[in-house]
Amino acid sequence: MSVMALMGCQWGDEGKGKLVDYFAEKAEVVVRFQGGNNAGHTLVVKGEQIILHLIPSGILHPKKLCVIGNGVVIDPAVLLEEIALLKSKGYFKDDSQLKISERAHLILPYHRLIDQAGEAKKGAGKIGTTGRGIGPAYADKASRTGIRFCDLKNPEFLKEKLGKAIDEKNLYLTRVLESEAIDKEKMIEEFLGYAEKLSGYAQNTSLLIHQLIQKGKKVLFEGAQGTMLDLDHGTYPFVTSSNTVAGAVSVGSGISPRLIERIVAVCKAYTTRVGAGPFPTELKDELGERLRERGGEYGATTGRPRRCGWLDLVQLKYAIRVNGITDLAITKLDVLSGLDRIKVCLGYKYKGEKIPDFPAEPEILDNVEPIYKELKGWKEDLSSVRKFKDLPSSAKAYLEFIQDQLQLPLLAVSIGKERSQIIALKEVFKGKSRG
CB within 8 A of 143, min separation 6: which ones? none
pLDDT per residue over 322-365, tens digit each? Answer: 999 999 999 999 999 999 999 999 999 999 999 989 999 999 99
pLDDT at 232: 97
Whether 61 is catalytic is no
Number of C-beta neighbours around residue 388 at 10 A: 16
Cα–Cα distances (Å) from 70 to 108, 131, 395, in that order, read 16, 21, 41
Mean confidence (pLDDT) of the chain: 92
| The amino acid at 358 | F
89 vs 91: CA distance, rounded Å: 6
Task: Please give the single-letter amino acid code of residue 434.
Answer: R
The answer to whether residues 330 and 410 touch, using CB atoms and an 8 Å cutoff, is yes
Within 10 angstroms of residue 82's Cβ, the number of other Cβ atoms is 20
Q: Is the pLDDT of residue 262 over 80?
A: yes
One-letter amino acid of 118: G
Q: What percent of the chain has pLDDT over 70?
A: 96
CA–CA distance, 168 with 15 (Å, rounded to integer): 40
For the chain, the C-alpha Rg in angstroms (whole number) is: 22
Q: Does 232 qualify as catalytic in the annotation?
A: no
* 366: Cβ contacts below 8 Å, ≥ 6 apart: 278
Mean pLDDT of 133-149: 95
How far apart are the C-alpha atoms of 196 and 192, rounded to whole Å? 6
Cis amide prior to 237 (ω within 30 degrees): yes
Half-sphere exposure of 124 (CA within 13 A, CB side): 0
CATH superfamily of 3-98+204-424: Adenylosuccinate Synthetase, subunit A, domain 3 (3.90.170.10)
268 Cβ contact list (under 8 Å, min separation 6): 10, 13, 14, 15, 295, 311, 330, 331, 332, 335
Residue 12: partners with Cβ closer than 8 Å, 6 or more residues away: 39, 224, 225, 226, 228, 229, 244, 273, 274
Among the ranges given (36-40, 174-178, 195-199, 408-412), the one the predictor scored with the smallest mean pLDDT? 36-40
Report the range of poorest mean pLDDT among 16-20, 27-31, 137-141: 16-20
Q: Which of 125-129, 178-182, 221-225, 366-370 has the highest mean pLDDT?
A: 366-370
The pLDDT-based confidence of 301 (bands split at 50, 70, 90) is low
Query: pLDDT class for 124, splitting at 50, 70, 90?
Result: low
Please provide the CATH number assigned to the domain covering 105-200.
1.10.300.10
Residue 432 has a pLDDT of: 57
Task: State the pLDDT at residue 435.
Answer: 47
pLDDT computed for residue 126 by the predictor: 61
91 Cβ contact partners less than 8 Å away, ≥ 6 residues apart: 59, 60
The residue extents of the domains of the chain are 3-98+204-424, 105-200
Distance CA 180, CA 139 (A): 20
Maximum separation of any 2 CA atoms in the chain, in Å: 66
Classify 378 in phi/psi space as left (phi over 0), alpha (psi -120 to 50) or beta: beta
21, 41, 140, 334: the catalytic one is 41
Tell me what pLDDT residue 223 has. Answer: 86
